[in-house]
Amino acid sequence: MGSKTSSPVQAMGTESQGENTLRQHQSMESPLDRVTSAASLGKIPDNYLFGNQTLKVLPGGGYELEDPSGVKKQLADDVVSWFKRRNGSTLAGSLAFVPWIVQQAYFDGGSEVQEESAIVIHRGSGAVVFSDASGFTALTERLAEKSNGAELLSQCLTSFFTPLINLITAYRGDVIKFSGDALMIYFPAVDDTKGEQKKFKVPPHGSYGLDDIGPMATAVLRASACCIEIHKRLHMFDTGVDGVKLCLHIGVGCGEVAILQVGGVEPPETHVPRVEYIIAGPPISQISIAEPLAKNGETCVSPEAWEHVRGCVLEDTSRKLENPNFHLLSKLDESKFTFPTIKAAATDRDRRKEKQFSIAELDIIRKFVPSAVFKQIEGDTLTYVNEMRVVSTVFISCSGVDVSTDEGAKVAQELMSSVQRVCYADEGTLNKFLVDDKGLLILLVYGLPPLVHTDDATRAVLSCFDIVKAFKRLNLTARCGVSTGRAYCGICGCPERMEYTVLGDYVNLAARLMGNAPEHGILVDKVTSERCSMELAMKALPPIKVKGKTNAVEIFQPELAAAGKCLGVGPDGKVHFPWYTRPLSSGHHETDDLPEQLRQDVLKLCRLQDWKGMNKVQSMLGSGYYADLHDQLACVPDQIANKQTAGWGSPFTSGGTIFLQGPTGLGKVELVTHVVAYAAANFGMLPIFGTMGPRVQDLERLGVELIRSCISAFRHLDKSLPDDEAEALQRLTPGMKSGDDPVQLFKKALAFALEEEERKTVLEGLVEVAVGLLQKLKKKVPVFVVLWLDYGTTLFPKTIKYFNVFWTVLSSCMPLTEPGGQNPVVLFTVCKNVDPEHPAVKVAQSKGWLIDLGGLSQDSIKEYMAAQLDVPQTAVPEPVSSFVAKLSLGNPLYIRETLKQLLEGDHIRVVSAEEGQEPRVEQNGDLEEVEIATWSQTAMVGETMCLLESLDPLEAAVLKMATVFKGAFALTDLASSSCSRWSGANRFDYLRLFRAVRELEARGILHRVKADEKIFPFTKRESEKAEQKTKTESVAAPSLSKLAFKSGGGDKLAIEGREMQAFEMQNVLIRKVGGNMLLEAQKKKVKRQALIDRALQRHLPQRMEELQLKKNETHIPWYYENILARA
């Protein structure tokens, strides 16, 4: 590589072996270092699959990559060194997330433990301690509203837990679980008198001259001494925040324990299965009694543990306990034992590091670490995971199983995997699975990066319904509590042992609600009830008093909202759209008069003269837009006086499938509403609806809606059809052949009584029934079928694949559109992105029936703003329209939300018309200073945050740094504060950064621009030097300032001696929201480092040249100068 100051991309002008290797590393997330380390231990074969290439260990000790075509490339030493350094750092950071006993179990248990089917990985005995802290809730509340609250709380946590965990480790304790601010600690009973331990003359308890008391008694003694010293050192720990002090109350038990690993389901954001470990056994039941008996600063010991140490410690008899069999510790019997001797003996005999995971086990480690945290560890950005954020927390208690038994372990595995599947289907995070003083608990969190959504509260509550079903299937009892609010989300612990957790008042409230929930019941707080969408109905219950709250807490019981009374054509002829009673995305209104509000939206948007989406639809309908159509809600007339035709080649004439695609807010609802109203009023088409999404809990709803709207259509034609939909379906399907009874299938789906594995099968059966009904209906009237797929803010392909069944439904409906008969059938398919490989999509593309919605034009934006504000276009100031256009990018929903927020914030106001004057809009202050990031309740900011949070850590870091630069910036500007070449970074560090920039460019977040020589004046100088050097040398080693990254050409890195490639963030909304995620101190650091780097780029080369010239000059000492001058 050369010296540290050499170019990080030197010698990469040909095939970029480094970038190719880096790409394979990132795609597989399988570090080369693991391969090299394992190879030296003989654990892997000479040929190892690395991405789509084969990594071969060469006889001489080198490494060679062979691609599928047989091309071989030997890895350079710097490539191997880079991977080793990076993955060594990853190993050091991730080891702290795995307890010692789990690591030991993998070595002691061998292949049996390492198998995916292994559940119980350790059985042993020892003391178990549960330590609960008081004061963290108050501390979190005090810091929650501060801009640097997460940073301050992280510092407090570290300063408290570091000495605490160091003490635990010194006494040979092992922190198994963090339960919020509480710890579950295991002191294993180990016989320290055998094998190599015989060399010690002092007994394992540490007191010379006293007889050994046995492994279990020694373990309980160590635990007791540790607890007493913890109180001495950390009782009333001063946090330095508004007088808040922390203290502990502790429970101690002992007996046989089992360590389980359960789960194994892959989260949506990674391919690595997620596994949780738990500790179970009689000691857990003991501490569930002991810990509540202890007050702050006290340790309570179970009767079983007391029997082992009654002669080693003194009891605190200052107060009587409710349970006389339990005992309070006072102090050690110092005539026999002391803290230093017990610690010294425990530390001297500690051999746990001999069975510590190495790089070869990194794949095992990452199963226990949340994927988002592991990626931060890989990127050396772990400190950035600590933050205050609004999340929805779900606490679930389980009763009816003893997981320490073999049968109970199997139930725990089935339960864990079932909960994981439900949680991951809604893109939530399973944060904890543990046994503590409250029993078997599961903690789910919705809204943790990268799984952030605008509807996390709804996702959390809906998950509870499916989880309750899973519990019932296993004959277990579930109780669920859900709360939503601001909490600390981040690392808890110290460098030696830590976990990712959530802390705060709202987290505690979820646990309290769980404790008050009935069997198989769900309770939610007020904030959650307000944030849930219309698909959930909330039943208010009497307020309850909970621990930690002065006032009674309002609670609600969620219920799945009943389906609307009518869908499709109503008894009065009005069209009842499915989105009247159920939102399809975050962009829909949820008001008392939703139909009227949507009618106004249709009226204002569809009348825009140059809206391309509307113009495309009107060309198919064969007529222009007329506003009278929407003077009232859409309806189907009994008779049409002048029935029109759409014209030759239109799907409304002969039937066909139309596709409408586009992101949320671009007007899909308004456009569909208009087409339904027009087709009903002019062609006599009866509307049929089937919608899917935005969540996966009710895929069968699409089939139910198709059948319900078909029944409504038949009832419109035949008034004698029964009002009861099941009875009506019975009459309409006499003798219909189907896999199941159509009526029973319909009733079961309508009652939300399906299990997860049944949904697709039931949907297929319902669609089969619906297609049969549509075949009958098309013989009577023309039909307009709307099929809608909306997966909302669902982010990852693994979750989106649940909705692939939608395209199967479309295929089942396609025969309906085939020509034949006098009544055409039009399938109007609406989605965010079409499946380009679907046959219907290809046909629609060839016929021009694919409508791809985009943002409004500049003129249309101003026209739409004027319509929303109810003023003439001339009354909208140019700065206001320009600001809204930049922010919304022409998205109609974003325009409405921006205007609403500007009006509510008094940034603009509409002045009513006065005599002889028209109404006008006035601007108050500079709109560029508006804090847009605080509009989190809007779809525009919420969905932008979802996008940004879903990025990989490095991409997110690049984006945040990019928001600092108001104009163009270069890769060197970003590298200056993250991997500066002046601090020893090499080409792989730059390549990782470059790949992150390219990914953001591909997403449309960053854009390439021409580098301005006024901003980057060194580019011209470097270009001229490179050209001159190229004339005299066959190969030039370019410096970083001569990099030009070209689009196309695969992933090769093109190096040119012409100019530096610059980038710019042009999306104002992303800039505003992303910039708010960066602390002021971080912004200043990025700016400062970039300016320093630019100054070095500009002036250092010339200074170095001058210095070199000066060095080349013959140096004549001053005392010789006089002699030479005289001569």
Tens of pLDDT, residues 984-1023: 677 778 888 888 999 999 988 999 888 776 666 555 555 5
pLDDT at 788: 95
Beta strands 521-525 and 477-494, pairing class: parallel
Kindly tell me if the per-residue pLDDT of 26 is higher than 50: no
Please tell me what DSSP assigns to residue 1063: E
Residues above pLDDT 90, as percent of the chain? 49
Q: What pLDDT was estimated at residue 1022?
A: 52
| Average pLDDT, integer, range 334-359 | 92
Alpha helices for 976-1117 (secondary structure H): 987-1002, 1018-1032, 1068-1076, 1080-1112
Instruction: State how far the Cα of 1091 lies from the Cα of 503, in Å rounded to an integer.
Output: 39
The larger pLDDT score, comparing residue 383 to residue 717, is at 717
Read off φ and ψ for residue 326, nearest 5 degrees. Answer: -95, 155
Q: Phi and psi (nearest 5°) for 1044?
A: -130, 120
Please say if the pLDDT value at position 1049 is more than 60: no
Distance in angstroms (rounded) separating the CA atoms of residues 416 and 418: 5
The CB-based long-range contact list for 716-724 (8 Å cut-off, 24+ gap) reads 716/569, 716/573, 716/636, 716/686, 717/780, 717/781
Asked if pLDDT for residue 558 goes beyond 90, the answer is yes
Give the mean model confidence (pLDDT) for residues 966-974: 86
pLDDT recorded at residue 1016:
66
Q: What percent of the chain has pLDDT over 70?
A: 87
Strand, helix or coil at 411?
helix
Residue 1044: what pLDDT?
A: 32
For residue 46, pLDDT over 60 is answered with no
Q: Identify the residue with better confidence: 487 or 23.
A: 487
> Residue 4: its pLDDT value, please?
36
pLDDT at position 379: 79
- Please state at what angle helix 858-869 crosses helix 878-888, rounded to 10 degrees: 110
* Rounded Cα distance, 163 and 204, in Å: 24
Instruction: Read off the pLDDT of residues 1061-1072 as tens digits, 9 standing for 90 and up.
Output: 889 998 889 988
849-892 tens-digit pLDDT = 999 999 999 999 999 999 999 999 999 999 999 999 999 999 99
**Do residues 253 and 127 lie in contact, with contact meaning Cβ atoms separated by under 8 Å?**
yes
Give the integer Cα–Cα distance in Å for 97 and 820.
66
Give the residue ranges of DSSP H helices in 792-909. 797-800, 805-813, 839-847, 858-869, 878-888, 892-904
Instruction: Give the mean pLDDT of 548-576.
Output: 89
pLDDT given at position 52: 57
Pairing of strands 825-831, 656-661: parallel
Q: By the 8 A CB rule, do 852 and 888 touch?
A: no
CA distances from 1065 to 465, 959, 1007, 1070, 1072 (A): 42, 9, 6, 8, 11
pLDDT in tens, 595-624: 888 888 999 999 898 899 999 999 999 887
More confident residue, 406 or 624: 406
Question: Is residue 24's pLDDT more than 90?
Answer: no
| H/E stretch holding 285 | helix 282-293
Per-residue pLDDT band for 591 (boundaries 50, 70, 90) equals low
Q: Is 434 helix (H, G, I), strand (E, B) or coil?
A: strand
Q: Is the pLDDT of residue 971 over 50?
A: yes
Strand 245-265, strand 299-301: pairing: parallel
Using CA of residue 775, residue 781, residue 782, residue 784, what is the dihedral sign?
negative
State the alpha helices, DSSP H only, in 427-582: 456-473, 505-516, 526-531
Rounded CA-CA distance 769/780 in Å is: 18
Q: What is residue 53's predicted lDDT score, i.e. its pLDDT? A: 63
Q: How far apart are CA 592 and CA 368, in angstroms?
A: 47
Looking at residue 1033, what is its pLDDT?
46
pTM: 0.85
pLDDT above 90 for 658: yes
- Amino acid at position 46, single letter: D
Give dist(CA 1019, CA 1056) in Å, integer: 11
Residue 40's pLDDT band (cuts 50, 70, 90): very low
Model confidence at 14: pLDDT above 60: no
The beta strands (E) that lie in 287-341 are given as: 299-301, 313-315, 327-332
Mean model confidence pLDDT for the chain: 84
* Residue 299: both structure tokens together: 């340790």
Q: Which of 8, 22, 17, 66 is nearest to 999 (CA)?
A: 22
Calpha distance 496→166 (Å, rounded): 8
Poorest-confidence range of 81-90, 660-669, 833-842?
81-90
Q: Which two tokens stand for residue 51?
A: 């991405």
pLDDT digits (tens, 9 = 90+) for 172-194: 999 999 987 899 999 999 998 88
Question: Residue range 66-91: average pLDDT?
Answer: 80
Exposure of 377 in the CB half-sphere (CA atoms within 13 A) = 27
**How does pLDDT run across 255-287, given as a tens digit for each residue?**
999 999 999 999 998 889 999 999 999 999 999
In whole angstroms, what separates CA 465 from the centre of its chain?
21
Largest CA distance in the chain: 130
